Amino acid sequence: MMLLLTRKLLTLKMASAARAFSLKVAVVGSGPAGFYTTQKLLRNPEIKVDIYEKLPVPFGLVRYGVAPDHADVKNVINSFTATANNDRVNFYGNVALSSDIRLEDLIQAYHAVVLCYGSAQDRLLNIPGEQEAENLISARNFVGWYNGVPEDKDLKINLDCDTACIIGNGNVALDCARILFKPANLEKTDITSYAQEQIFRSKIKRIYIIGRRGPVQASFTTKEMRELMTLNEGNVRLEPHDIFDRQNVTIASLRKLSRPRRRLTELLISIPAKKLKSLSDIKGVEFVFKFLSKPYRILNDRIELQKTEFTSLEGFLDELAHPDDQDSYEVIKCGLIIRSIGYKAVVVDQSLPYNRKLGALSNTEGRVHGHRNVYCSGWLATGASGVIAGTLSSSHVTAKSILTDVEEKTLPNITRDKPGYQMISQILESKSKQVIHFNDWLRIDELEKKLGTNLGKTREKLVDLSKMLETARE
Ligand code: FAD
Ligand code: NAP
């Protein structure tokens, strides 16, 4: 193994000795995928990486997605900061691919381009009333609002009602429910102060979390569900409450499930049957997990659900639920609906092939189809599913493809120098674009931490783009 590594390093050294210039790679997006891909690429000493980011600040969903009360998850930022400080890495923030620079520019300027710009669009229900309903917001915007995404800071959200519905059974749905529940010490986290104030004044008493399939098909994970149940002990209800009995699902019959799925199901089975309380009797917030309920229509202050069912135990364990025989419907009156049914990627250039089902770019091991030196990683490559650790794996697969293409010289123009940022900077200068360097971000970071300390919290994020740019300039 050791011998193999030494030989590989020697080959790389010889190659770089033969080449009088570095191999320039542009990475677009500074979320986990951008940084993990960069980290792996740096293993080849010939490679230099320029990271382009649309926003003036780095770290993608680690800053703008991960819930404020999950501070530990954000520790990955330390390793990303070390990468950004590497001599062979440059960060160029406030530069968006498509509106500021074109993919064609990057292809010309760099030996390879890695697109890591994530999934910035909502999936839609495509049901009547969805577009018109004033009280429907997407989880993406709600999360952006409490986490300080500049374009979500003015989101109108009705917290002056007693009932909210969250559509979807993923971890984002649980994040939204937990934040609306106001977990202890939320005010000390990096949640934006305006969101925290509004949430603390919220009148919401009951939150429905609505799944179109059953508990065994839920996408949320045991850790997150357990956290919610522990925080809100005694105030969680499953509907229909006999959902496991009806299909005769017992712990013993769960043997065929995978271990994580079995653990989650055991947890859900352990929730005791309870009657739905009257709203005036609820202390705090009640969570009602409503399964087998497919959103059918949205009227402004209510949602209509079509009841679905499984035809067999096998179906209950791993299949699709169908509209029930009587074709019955249920209406829930609610002042707020949060659609949390997933994200999909934006296509920033017409030459990029899009896999509609996945909501991601068509690629093989990170190589974007139809291109010779364009790659992708993270959610843009896999679709919007998976945790940060999953993004690391996807990024390593992509970086490995690039390193292989370098080694096997299948990357075009590998024997010629490329202008890299020198060319891109001319385009940006011609547009008088203010570019944010990593040191500029560190100034924003310092100010945010200072503002936070004054308020007794970890950070108070700047949410105004012009204030961010001004701070960066100072
Ligand atoms: P992103 O993190 O979205 O990064 C994409 C980057 O590209 C962003 O910085 C964006 O601004 C930039 N960009 C977009 N368009 C352009 C453009 N045109 N030009 C230049 N730059 C652009 N995982 C966990 O492990 N733990 C958690 O607690 C957790 N919580 C989450 C909470 C939410 C609400 C969400 C949505 C996800 C959560 N995840 C969590 C999953 C995790 O965030 C993702 O796995 C990971 O962020 C995906 O990384 P990425 O780099 O592919 O995308
Ligand atoms: P997700 O896990 O894919 O969940 C989406 C949910 O929406 C599913 O329950 C899905 O149900 C439902 N859905 C999709 N289309 C629907 C429709 N038309 N009608 C009704 N329901 C519909 O997505 P996510 O919650 O956005 O999370 C994205 C990723 O981030 C996940 O991998 C998640 O684990 C990760 N994340 C992790 C954490 C954490 O670790 N703490 C926190 C947040 C997010 P079906 O299964 O029936 O399609």
Give residue-wise pLDDT tens across range 255-312.
888 999 999 999 999 998 888 889 999 999 999 999 999 999 999 799 999 999 988 8
Q: What digits encode the pLDDT tens for the residues 58-80?
A: 999 999 999 999 999 999 999 99
Which ligand minimizes its atom distance to the CA of 306?
Answer: 2
Q: Which residue, by CA, sits nearest to atom 18 of ligand 1?
A: 97
Whether 380 and 347 have beta carbons less than 8 Å apart is answered as: no
Structure tokens at 388: 């940060």
Q: Mean of the pLDDT values across residues 155-171?
A: 97
Structure tokens at 357: 């089902």
Going by the DSSP 8-state scheme, the letter that residue 129 receives in this structure is: T
pLDDT band at 89 (very low <50, low <70, confident <90, very high): very high
Q: Which residue, by CA, sits nearest to atom 14 of ligand 1?
A: 117
Ligand 2, pocket residues at CB < 6 Å: 123, 125, 167-173, 175, 211-213, 217, 219, 224, 295, 340-343, 384-387
3-state helix, strand, coil in the chain (%, to 5): 40, 20, 40
pLDDT band at 364 (very low <50, low <70, confident <90, very high): very high
Strand locations in 281-440, DSSP E? Answer: 286-290, 293-299, 302-309, 322-323, 329-333, 336-339, 343-344, 354-355, 360-361, 363-364, 367-368, 374-376
**Which string of DSSP letters, residue by residue, matches 12-54?**
HHHHHHH-SSPEEEEEE--SHHHHHHHHHHTTSTTEEEEEEES
Residue 108 CB coordination number (10 Å): 14
């949410």: which residue's tokens? 463
In this structure, the dihedral spanned by the alpha carbons of residues 465, 470, 472 and 474, taken in order and rounded to 10 degrees, is -170
